[in-house]
Amino acid sequence: GEPWVVMKTARAPSNIAVIKYWGKRDEKLILPINSSISVTLDPEHLSATTTVAASPAFHSDRLWLNGKEVSVEGERYKNCLREMRARATDVEVESTGRVIKKEEWSSLHIHIASENNFPTAAGLASSAAGFACLVYALAQLMGVKENYEGELSAIARLGSGSACRSLLGGFVKWNMGQEADGRDSIATQLAEHSHWDDLVIIIAVVSSRQKETSSTSGMQESVRTSPLLKFRAEEVVPKRIEQMEKAIKSMDFAEFAKITCADSNQFHATCLDTSPPIFYLNDTSRRLIGLVERWNRHAGEPQVAYTFDAGPNAVMFARNKEVGAELLKRLLYQFPPSSDADFSRYVIGDQSILES
């Protein structure tokens, strides 16, 4: 017959955790030792765009990241592809009317091309956007329908833990879950972005260099060696999750800021408590923390919150637009453009995924 190709493109945003996920209880299924809460970022500024294609002319699964071919042999890609193929349905090829049968998907090879519009692996959750996008695009391509709420989230989780949170917009909670097979370790939306649209997000790109310790190996080492991490997961995070959910529901910025900063700082403390220690923050990150802490102290109540993932870049939340403008002014004054830090301003996006 005629050669054919089917293709889908999707875009998924990145997300930033305000209660951090750090540490797995199951390495294969990517099940976390604690629940986490995040804010989904505006896809205009921080997102992955992924095109997936299938054709009988393809002889193997292949993957291009930002234009460079990389191996698709890693467990994470293989697990996502396997789970999606298992859920594929009959799909009609629009242009020809031909139907790709459910059974055919197991032997059809997939080509994947994914691009980020922001620095990869610099602690701005590029894997989160990437895997959320891959799973969503494959679902469109293969006609996958969710059998239960959060099924795609559970598959994205197999690619990268934090990816399960990028399938939803606004404020999102990843419940650690109880089940051994991970079916309840999924993300749910706490509130839409429009629920709290006063909030302004400003991202300070301190360095676009790739991080030295990947989150995967970093959290393995922390689980193995940090007594603080165990204490954090068991004694601290469960209470913070409850407090943070309340703060988001009631738009209590003071509480939101207090917990966000404390949780970022405790996450980086567990990194320092790891043997050998892991350093993600640099001098610029620490100066940013100082600037915000001084500001909040002088103001009498929190105006700005900061959080850092596995890298030196800051994500800052200003309580409203006026404070956001003032924050940018202070950042530009303290870190003039001639320095090695380069800052951009972003707002929260509610649109989590766009397809085409």
Question: Which position among 34, 51, 127, 207 is part of the footprint of ligand PMV (CB under 6 A)?
Answer: 127
| One of 189, 208, 216, 220 touching ligand PMV (CB under 6 A) | 216
The residue type found at 247 is A
Residue 186 near residue 173, CB atoms below 8 Å: no
Pairing of strands 171-174, 36-40: antiparallel
Q: How far is CA 70 from CA 65, 117, 130, 322, in A?
A: 7, 18, 14, 44
Cα–Cα distance measured from residue 38 to residue 116, given in angstroms and rounded to the nearest whole number? 19
Give the count of beta carbons closer than 10 Å to the beta carbon of residue 93.
13
Kindly state whether residue 161 participates in binding ligand PMV, applying the rule CB under 6 A.
Answer: yes
Of 8, 11, 14, 21, the one binding ligand PMV (CB under 6 A) is 21
| Contact pattern for ligand PMV over residues 303 through 322, marking x by CB under 6 A | ------xx------------
The verdict on 49 binding ligand PMV (CB under 6 A) reads no
**Site pattern 173..212 for ligand PMV (x: CB under 6 A):** ----------------------------------------
* Total residues in contact with ligand PMV, by rule CB under 6 A: 15
For ligand PMV, which is the closer residue by CB, 22 or 335? Answer: 22
Sole window of 87-95, 107-115, 124-132, 220-228 interacting with ligand PMV (rule: CB under 6 A): 124-132
CA 288 centroid distance within chain: 22
Question: Using CB under 6 A, which of the segments 64-72, 158-166, 186-194, 295-303 binds ligand PMV?
Answer: 158-166
Pairing of strands 62-65, 109-116: parallel
CB of 333 to ligand PMV, least distance (A): 29
Closest approach, Cβ 157 to ligand PMV, in A, equals 9
Say if residue 260 is exposed, middle or buried (CB neighbours under 10 Å; 0-12, 13-18, 19+): buried
CA atoms of 92 and 340, how far apart (whole Å): 51
Closest CA to 280 of 118, 46, 116, 122: 122
Is 274 an interacting residue with respect to ligand PMV (CB under 6 A)?
no
User: Given the rule CB under 6 A, which residues bind ligand PMV?
Assistant: 17, 20-22, 36, 125, 127-128, 160-162, 215-216, 309-310
